[in-house]
Amino acid sequence: MDHFVLPNSGHNFDAKSSKMGMWLFLYTELLLFGGLFLVYMLYRYANQDAFLLASFELNVWMGTINTLVLLTSSMTIAMSITALQKGNNKLAINLAWATIFAALVFLVIKYFEWGAKFDHGYFPGMDHYNELPHGERLYFYLYFFMTGLHGLHVIVGGIFIAVVIKRIKSGRVNKNRISLLENSGLYWHLVDLIWIYLFPLFYLIH
Amino acid sequence: MDNKEKNAGQTAEHEHISSYAEHFGTWIALCVLTLMTVFISVFGADLGSLTVATAMLIATVKALAVALYFMHLKYEPKIYRAWIIVVMALFVFFLTMVIIDYITR
């Protein structure tokens, strides 16, 4: 033990533990969505035709654009980490802003997608939804629940990155104390990872 | 202040800095795979049951690319990759239990 620091003194920065803690949290997130994927797989197996029919209601092109938007945002946040590691704070901040911008684009497109479904009454509890066969109702229920939970993660990730930008500006996150930016990046990549599976499952199952 | 210098040393020693080019290359690969999976689904519907398997395979390749390069998993200590395998094993266990439950009903 070469040095001792009081807890919460601000001097107990430990990059390795920070990252490990973040990864442990991400593993629990994987299992959270993993459980939902299991539900999806089972119900899809039991209602194949209904799931196929219901999936034609989704707009493949909007889904594709959103996938590309998320992939691009993953690249910008990854580059933001590279920029900060090289000591280029300005570029790191701009790339983090680009990520938040992509998050907003994703949410706006999602808003229009969900809006169209609401207009047609596909949200659980609406008139048209109640008239649908059992299998299609399951599909839309899972669609709204899983993309909704994912959308929540997009919002949280965006706020997380905004906090990090503020701290890069104030100097609390810098070249030598990069953990918070790295962790926000890891969280953002998880959002991307989950979408990578949600997209083919809901949009491309023809 | 002593701590800060120490941390500075630690960071420089252990952190791998990925290049912009590497991230850009990963992004290109991910975009190509996305367009591929969309085109297979929209125009290659005659693949039948293979379409789902192909889509999942491509999704897994994309997920690996994100984890290994964007999330730096390739440059982290082995323990991180070992944990991923534990999580996957746990998922497969849950999956098996659900399937057994379903077919024995």
B51 inside 8 A of chain A by CB = yes
Q: Residue A160: its pLDDT value, please?
A: 97
- Locate the chain A residue with the closest alpha carbon to B89: A31
CA atoms within 13 A on the CB side of A11: 11
B-chain CB neighbours of A172 within 8 Å are: none
- Pairwise CA distance, residues B16 & A106, whole Å: 30
Q: Residue B95: its pLDDT value, please?
A: 93
Specify whether the CB–CB gap between B37 and B58 falls below 8 A: yes
* pLDDT tens, residue by residue, B29-46: 999 999 999 988 887 655
One of 3.20.20.120, 3.40.50.11540, 3.40.50.720, 1.20.120.80 is the CATH number of A20-203, namely 1.20.120.80
- Domain spans of chain A, in order of start: 20-203
Give ipTM to 2 decimals. 0.88
A-chain CB neighbours of B19 within 8 Å are: 82
- Pairwise CA distance, residues B74 & A85, whole Å: 17
User: Which one of A74, A173, A177 makes the best mutation probe of the B interface by having the most chain B beta carbons within 10 Å?
Assistant: A74
Neighbours of A58 (CB within 10 A): 20
B103 inside 8 A of chain A by CB = no
Q: Residue A6: its pLDDT value, please?
A: 63
Q: In Å, how far is A34's CA from the nearest CA of chain B?
A: 7
- Pairwise CA distance, residues A182 & B71, whole Å: 9
Low-confidence spans in chain B with pLDDT less than 70:
1-14, 44-50
pLDDT in tens, chain A (206 residues): 556 666 666 666 788 889 999 999 999 999 999 999 999 999 998 998 898 888 888 889 999 999 999 999 999 999 999 999 999 999 999 999 999 999 999 999 999 999 999 988 889 988 888 888 889 999 999 999 999 999 999 999 999 999 999 999 999 999 989 999 999 999 999 999 999 999 999 998 76
